[in-house]
Structure 1
């Protein structure tokens, strides 16, 4: 469901790991408030990009829950992590692209990311 594609659109970004472009929907929530933040756009072992409706300031620390409903699995999966906003760019008048560095990924989040890598 994803392809392993290094980000070459922005040569100023110095990623050490390739990002996997998602082909399915993964919803992102703020863990404490359960507030919906947006959709996961791509991910790597150390970072994520989220499409959000609001601007998030670089340096903001978030505790995130990510929820997907994978094919051929009965039910949904929820993974968690801590994320620090690194950048936020306005994509459209109502949509932002937000890049985050992640830490403390749950075992389930690591499993989810691995499944995106292989599809």
Structure 2
């Protein structure tokens, strides 16, 4: 019997980022961690606290793209699908994007096509 992992169940491939993208909670602006990889429908976050699967989160992704003076901020609503402890102080969480702003979609498209 073959066990399916979360990677096997993905509908789309994930892309590892070539730049740093910080993740903040939208309402409190609290720093949550970093975006590790993404697809057009999902995100993997690296955080210092575990995230509860099934919880819906509203987040801001902030990056400073190359050759641009300034930063971009995109917002999205996502559902936490899983959360695993990676090290004693670091967690990885997979999220399904429910809704995203146009800026967020543009940012994700650039991440997945570089």
| TM-score normalised by structure 1 residue count | 0.89
Q: Which runs of 4+ in 1 moved over 4 A?
A: none
Gaps of 5+ in 2: none
For these two proteins, the number of residue pairs brought into alignment is 110
SS in 2 for 1:114: helix
Answering whether residue 98 of structure 2 is matched by residue 103 of structure 1, we say: yes
CA RMSD of aligned residues (A): 1.2
Determine the C-alpha separation between the residues in 2 that align with 1:60 and 1:104.
14
Q: Deviations over 1:43-99 (max 9, x none)?
A: 111110000000111011110000000000111000000011110000000000011
The 1-side partners of 2:77 and 2:18 are apart by 23
Task: Give 1:114 shift.
Answer: 1.1
Structure 1 residues not aligned, in runs of 5+: 1-9
Match of 2:105, SS state, is helix
Structure 1 position 79 matched with structure 2 position 74 = yes
Contact 2:57–2:78, Cα closer than 8 Å, also in 1: yes
